[in-house]
Structure 1
Amino acid sequence: MPANRRSAQGVAVLLVAAAVLTGCERGASTGGAPSPTRTATAGCPAALARAEAAVRQAERTDPGRGVPASGPRAVPGKSLVFVAQTMTNPGVAGVAQGLREAAKATGWNVRVIDGQGTPAGIQAAFSEAIALRPSGIVIAGFDPLLTSPQVARATAEHIPLIGWHAVAAPGPSEDPELFTNVTTEVEDVARISADWVIAHSHGDAGVVVFTDASIPFARNKSDLIKKELATCAGARILAEENIPLSDTSSRTPQEVSALLSRFPEEWTHSVAINDVYFADAAPALRAARRKGAAAPFNIGAGDGDPSAFQRINSGQFQAATVPEALSEQGWQIVDEFNRAFSGEPPSGYVAPVHIATAANSGGLTTWDPPGYRETYRKVWGG
C-alpha cells in the first residue's frame, strides 16, 4: 500500500470520534452553477503583490529564521518514549527519525512504540510507555483526548508530555496538559497555500478546495484557505469538496470526474487540506487526458510526505506542497524536553512555512532546512 494512502487511512481511523462529536455531515460538497468564463480583466493587484512577496519568501530554501540559538546545556541520562499514532504515517515516522538522531547528540535513550493506527492500539502503547517510567513521553500524531486516562496518569506521575500535531496550535497546552506541542501554525499554512494559488494564477483562478469537514481542525484550515482566497476577487471558488480522509480513495476519483464535467475550462487550481487528495485525484485526471503538469494546478496545504514530493518532482498532478520540516521537528522535541528537564519554559519556536515545488526541492522527497543540527548541538554543548 502506498505510504500516502496508509497515512490517510491511519489518521482517518483516529478521527472517527471527532466526526461523531461534531455531528458534521459526511461528504457533502458545495458549489453552485459554473462560474462565468474567465477573463483577462479579473484580478486583484494589491492582493497579488502581497501574495507574490509571501510566496517568494516561503519558497526560499534558506528560511532566514532558524531554531533558537540559546538554551540549557543537555541534561545527561534521560530517556524518551515516542508513542506513535502509526509508524506507517510518513509524518510520524519522519519525526521519530529526527528524534532518534537528536537523542544521539544528547546521549539520551529513545524507544518508539507503535499505536498501529487504532484507538485501542494507541491506548495500549501509551500505557506501555508509562510503565517504562521514562523521563518524557511524546504524543505523536493523535488527539490526547483518545488517551485521557493515560494522559492523567502520566501527569500524576510527573512525566512531561510533548505533542507533535497533538492539538491544533503550537506551544503549551493546559487541557490536555502538554509542556508544548510542536507543529506549524495552521493559519500560516492555510494562508500561504492560498497565496500560492493567487500568485501562480496571477490573480485569475477557478479554485476547488478539498477538505474533510468531519474534522474540526481540517474544516478550520479550509475555512482559512477560503478566507485568504477571498482577498483576491479574481480567485473564484468553484466548489468545496467535502471528502472524509477515510473515503479519499473511493470518493475522490468520482468527484474529480464530476468537477471536470462541470468546470472543463474554469477549473485551474486546487487546494487540499492534505496531499492525499491529489494521489487519489490523479487517476481521474489521467483518464480525462489531462496533462500532469497542466491545469488544474494543485497544492497540498500540509504534510508534504514523500509521495507528494514524488508527484511534484515528476510533474504528475501536483505542483506544490506546504511541507512540515519533520526531522527538524524531531530535534525540536528533544530541545523542548531538555528545557522541561532544566526547569525552563518552552522555546516558543514555530518553524516558518515553506512551499516546495519542483524548482526548489532539489529532487529530494522531504523538506529539511539547513543549519538546525549545528545550532542545537552548539546549544546542548555537543
Structure 2
Amino acid sequence: MYPKSPRSRRVAVLAVAAALLVGCQRGTSTGAGPSPTEPARPGCPTDLARAEAATAYAEKPHTMWHGPALGPRATSGKDIVYVAQTMTNPGVAGAAKGVQEAAKVIGWNVRVIDGQGTPAGIQAAFSQAIALRPSGIVLGGFDPGLTSQQVAKATAEHLPLIGWHAVAAPGPSKHPALFTNITTRVEDVAKISADWIIAHSHGHAGVVLFTDASIPFAKNKSDLIRKELATCSGVHLLAQENIPLSDTSSRAPQEVSSLLSRFPDTWTHSVAINDVYFADAAPALRAARRKGAGVPFNIGAGDGDPSAFQRINSRQFQTATVPEPFSQQGWQILDEFNRAFSGGPASGYVAPVHIATAANSGGATTWDPPGYRAVYRRIWGR
C-alpha cells in the first residue's frame, strides 16, 4: 500500500474533525432535521445508558406498596363533597370513582357535583358544596384561582380542602389553602417521557412535541420535556405544535397531515402533554397509510385514560403513556382527609412515575398499582 499524500492526510483529518463536531451538537432544532442520507451520528452513549436504566425501572410492574404504612384510625360519620371540573374528563372521573370506592370501606358519605367544565359551572358547584356543610371538599382537577371566593369562604368555615391536580406541585399548599394536593410530579413525568424516547430510539430520533401553551402547567411540562430531550445529541426536536386541548379534535388531524409532509422520513417519535392528542392524530396517520405499530412512535406525558390504554394495547398509533393511578389517588384523598380530621399532617406520599406499554399493561385499561387497598384498610382499622 502506498503512503498517503500530505493533501490526503489533511482531508482525512478535516473529515474526522467535522464528524466529531456533528456528534457534539445538541438536538433542539425545530427545523427539518437531518437528511435521511446523512451519516449516522454518534448519539449519546452516556445519556442513553441513563435513559435506558430509568425507563426500564419505570416500566417494571409494581409488586409492593411503597406509600404510607402508618396513620390514624378511621374517624366516623364524615361527609365529603367531590367538586369535579367535569365528569367527562376520564382522570377527574377516575379519581372520583376511587374516592367513592374508598368511602364505602371507611364508612363515609361522598357526593359528587359536576362543574360541567366551565368557570361558572365550577363556581356554582363549589358554592353548592359549601352549602351542604360537609366535613371536607375535594377540588377535582380545576385551578382554585377560578373559585377564589369559594376557597376563601370554605377556609373561613374551617373546611379542609384537598386538591386533585388542583395546583402544579404535590403536597400541602398555603396559597391557595389546601391541606394537600395529590398529583404526580410534573418534573418526573416530563423527564421519564423524554427518557423513553431516548431509550426507545437508541439515541437517534426526530421528535414532534404537542403542547398547549395557553395552560402554564402544560407549557412548563413541555419546556421540561424539551430540556431532557436536548441532553441527547442524536435526538432532534423537529417541531413543537401548540394546539389547545379544547381544539385537538379540529386541529390535530390537519397539523399531523402537515407534519407528515414536512418530515416524511425524519419524524420517528412524538410526545404530548396529554394522551388526547394521539386520539385525534390517529385518523390522519391512518389516512397516510402509516402502520399503527410503526413510526411515529407516540408517548403521552401524563393522564393514562382508558382510551389511551386501548390504543396502546391494540398498537394503534400510541406506544406508551405515563399514567396517573386514578383509583389509588382517590383512596389517598380519603386517607389525607382522615389525617386532617385527626389533627395530623399530610402523608407526603407522591406516586412514582410509571410507563405503561402493551408489553406490561396485561390488557388493563388503567394503571392501578397493587397493595394500597389492603394497607389503607389496615391503617383505618377497616
Structures share a fold, TM > 0.5?
A: yes
Give the partner amino acid of 1:312.
Answer: I
Structure 1 letter corresponding to 2:100: R
Q: Which residue of 2 aligns with 1:47?
A: 47
For 1:153, the aligned partner's letter is K
Q: Structure 1: give runs of 5+ residues left out of the alignment.
A: 1-29
Q: Using the alignment, how far apart are the partners of 2:228 and 2:291 within structure 1?
A: 28
The answer for the alignment partner of 1:156 in structure 2 is 156
Q: Is the 8 A contact 2:33 2:236 kept in 1?
A: no
For residue 226 of structure 2, give the secondary structure of its aligned residue in structure 1: helix
| Residue number in structure 2 paired with 1:36 | 35
SS at match of 2:222: helix
Q: Could you tell me how far 1:63 is from its partner in structure 2? A: 6.1
Give the residue type in structure 1 aligned to 2:204: D
1:64/1:35 CA distance change after superposition, 3 Å: farther
Q: Do structure 1's residue 256 and structure 2's residue 259 form an aligned pair? A: no
Measured after TM superposition, the shift of residue 247 of structure 1 is 1.3
Q: Which residue of 1 aligns with 2:131?
A: 131
| Residues 105 and 65 (structure 1), Cα distance of their counterparts in 2 relative to 1, 3 Å cut | closer
Name the residue aligned to 1:22. none
| Partner of residue 344, structure 2 | 344
Match of 2:194 in 1: 194
Letter in 1 for 2:170: P
Contact 1:303–1:322 at 8 Å: present in 2 too? yes
CA contact (8 A) 1:322 1:353 kept: yes
Question: Is 1:322 aligned with 2:322?
Answer: yes
Residue 8 (structure 1) aligns with:
none
Deviation (angstroms), 1:61: 1.6
Q: Distance in 1 between matches of 2:186 and 2:47?
A: 20
Deviation at 1:39, TM superposition (A): 4.3
For 1:265 and 1:290, how far apart are their aligned partners in 2? Answer: 12
Does the alignment pair 1:353 with 2:353?
yes
**SS of equivalent to 2:283:** helix
- SS at structure 1 position matched to 2:357: coil
In structure 1, how many angstroms separate the alpha carbons of the residues matched to 2:377 and 2:219? 39
Residues 1-382 of structure 1: pairs in structure 2 closer than 5 A = 31-37=30-36, 39-62=39-62, 66-382=66-382
**What percentage of residue pairs aligned between the two structures are identical?**
78
Q: CA deviation at 1:181?
A: 0.3
- Please report the TM-score for the alignment, with normalisation by the length of structure 2: 0.91
The offset of 1:104, in angstroms, is 1.3
User: What is the RMSD computed on CA atoms of the aligned residues?
Assistant: 1.1
Note the C-alpha offset of 1:254. Answer: 1.1
1:179 aligns to what SS in structure 2?
A: strand
1:93-141 residue CA offsets vs partner (Å, 9 max, x unmatched): 1101110111111111101111111111111110110011110000001
TM-score, length-normalised on structure 1? Answer: 0.91
Per the TM alignment, residue 35 of structure 1 is displaced from its structure 2 partner at its CA by 3.0
2-structure distance, mates of 1:152, 1:380: 30
Distance in 2, Cα, partners of 1:200 & 1:63? 24
Residue type of the alignment partner of 2:148: S
Q: Compare 255-264 and 157-166 and name the one that shifted more.
A: 255-264
Q: Which residue in 1 is equivalent to 2:26?
A: none
**C-alpha separation in 2, matches of 1:179 and 1:208:** 38
**How many residues in Structure 1 have an aligned counterpart in Structure 2?**
353
- Tell me, in whole angstroms, the C-alpha distance in 2 between the residues paired with 1:33 and 1:317: 22
Give the equivalent residue in structure 2 for 1:16.
none
Deviation string, structure 1 residues 307-359 (Cα, Å, up to 9, x no partner): 00010000100000000000000000001001100100100000000000000
Q: Distance in 1 between matches of 2:246 and 2:41?
A: 40
Distance 1:178 1:139 in 2: 9
Unpaired segments ≥5 residues, structure 2 = 1-28
Instruction: Report the AA paired with residue 81 of structure 1.
Output: V
**Partner residue of 1:21?**
none
